[in-house]
Structure 1
Amino acid sequence: MSEFDSTSSDGPDGAASAGGPAEAGAEGRPVGVGPWQGPWPDDPRYDPDLLREGDRRNVLDEYRYWSVEAIVADLDARRHPLHVAIENWQHDMNIGTVVRTANAFNVAGVHIIGRRRWNRRGAMVTDRYLHVHHHESAEAFLAWAAAEALPVFGVDLFPDSAPLETFELPRACALVFGQEGPGLSEQIRDGAEATLSIAQFGSTRSINAGVAAGIAMHAWVRRHAEV
């Protein structure tokens, strides 16, 4: 559930008034489920508009016909104690990808550091199912993390970075990713308990920030999530 505006709208939603754009299958064929057949369920989690019109959203089958609020409440009951933050000083286009991946791993919160506005097109409406927070500066984010007693770890390729693959991430923590190009700010690097690097074996110096965030979140999942 975003606490601030984005730079793009989701476009016409149709049934998405209840939570997201229509899915598209092969050759553009709609997928999901059509209008509810038979007597309507007596359950407050179900959305009348979706029952009437069908549910074409990109949600798990167990959430079909549920309202956004009901889905968020269910996710809140089992969110992981992992927070993800990304710096947004130059209007980073990777934020949508980070948000979408964070939704897949059901993190406790996503934090945007720097510019308030971001392009959420890449998030594919998944920000509606997350708690997205804004911090005006790196210092403000670090102060929030300190108040929550949440250890902060930067993810970037520095000579003194510890390998993510062998580092023992604590269960409750915050992973911070830098702006595409310049990487982590000095403020985050200085305020983090450690910086972590992702092993690379090719010719490029770095990998896309959105990809790095997905790899790092999955590293946490492998250590701490019940699968």
Structure 2
Amino acid sequence: MTSSGTTPEERAVGVGPWPGGPDAWPTDARYDPELLAHGDRRNVVDGYRYWTVEAIVADMDARRPPGRALHVAIENWAHDLNIGSVVRTANAFNATGVHVVGRRRWNRRGAMVTDRYLHVHHHATAADLAAWAAEEGLPVIGVDNVPGSVPIEGYALPASCVLLLGQESSGLTPDAVAACRDVVHITQLGSTRSLNAGAAAAIALHTWAAQHVLGADGGGPEGERH
């Protein structure tokens, strides 16, 4: 018992081994025997406890509303730790795909392994992303407070689109702005010029979800999915 009155087990993230031992294990192929035996300490919702990564990815793919595809793209020209935060946010809103534009390598620490549950793509340039989006019939919507941008409040985000974010320090490059059908900004009330890229992504993705998913057919797997 610690001075806070809790044991290390009580403070541990996730769950321990499946109660009852191997004879009580579920036989569903979605469950990972290693996790059943040793516990599941991953940062996943309760409904995905003990599931394999492949099973979680397949279920997330199946749960996306038909006719709505949210893709998230971020430029990667500098060593920006916020890319991981954007990826983690994309996972939280079950984005159809995440697209890294520019350098292929990015710092994954901020993603906290959530990229394992997403479809991550790479495009060498913003023009390459725009060409891919055009082939898929997806408009590219930039998120930045550049001249000519419009407030995201009141803007009708397309049901299927690519939300494109820039680097933390410099925002969207001119090439990225040129690839966008529209650019939206998040109205701020304080003194700072811009929001953290991870925070901006969270607001933009939640705005899309509020318009197209939340209140319509629900969010994620809240309960056990045995």
Q: Assess, with a 3 A threshold, how the Cα gap between structure 1 residues 27 and 94 changes in structure 2: closer, same or farther.
A: farther
Q: Which residue of 2 aligns with 1:140?
A: 128
Q: Is the 8 A contact 1:145 1:152 kept in 2?
A: yes
Cα deviations by residue, 1:179-213 (Å, 9 ceiling, x for unpaired): 11111111111121111011011111111111111
> For the aligned residues, what is the CA RMSD?
1.6
Cα deviations by residue, 1:60-97 (Å, 9 ceiling, x for unpaired): 11111111110111001123510000000012111110
Structure 1 residue corresponding to 2:74, chosen from 86, 94, 107: 86
CA drift of 1:159 comes to 2.6
Residue 158 (1) aligns with residue 146 (2): yes
- TM-score in terms of structure 2 length: 0.86
Q: Which residue of 2 aligns with 1:31?
A: 13
Gap runs ≥5 in structure 2: 1-5, 219-226
Q: Which residue of 2 aligns with 1:182?
A: 170
Letter aligned with residue 204 of structure 2:
A
Q: Is the 8 A contact 1:91 1:117 kept in 2?
A: no
Q: Which residue of 2 aligns with 1:72?
A: 57
CA drift of 1:105 comes to 0.4
Partners of 1:158 and 1:75 in 2: how far apart?
34
CA drift of 1:26 comes to 9.3
Q: Detail structure 1 runs of 4+ shifted over 6 Å in the superposition.
A: 25-28
Partners of 2:90 and 2:8 in 1: how far apart?
28
Q: Which residue of 2 aligns with 1:168?
A: 156
Which has the higher Rg, Structure 1 or Structure 2? 2
CA drift of 1:27 comes to 7.2
Structure 2 residue corresponding to 1:60, chosen from 19, 34, 45: 45
Partners of 2:78 and 2:142 in 1: how far apart?
18
Residue 206 (1) aligns with residue 194 (2): yes
Q: Assess, with a 3 A threshold, how the Cα gap between structure 1 residues 205 and 170 changes in structure 2: closer, same or farther.
A: same
Gap runs ≥5 in structure 1: 1-24
Instruction: Count how many residue pairs are aligned between Structure 1 and Structure 2.
Output: 203
Structure 2 residue corresponding to 1:42, chosen from 16, 23, 27: 27
| Structure 2 residue matching 1:221: 3-state secondary structure | helix
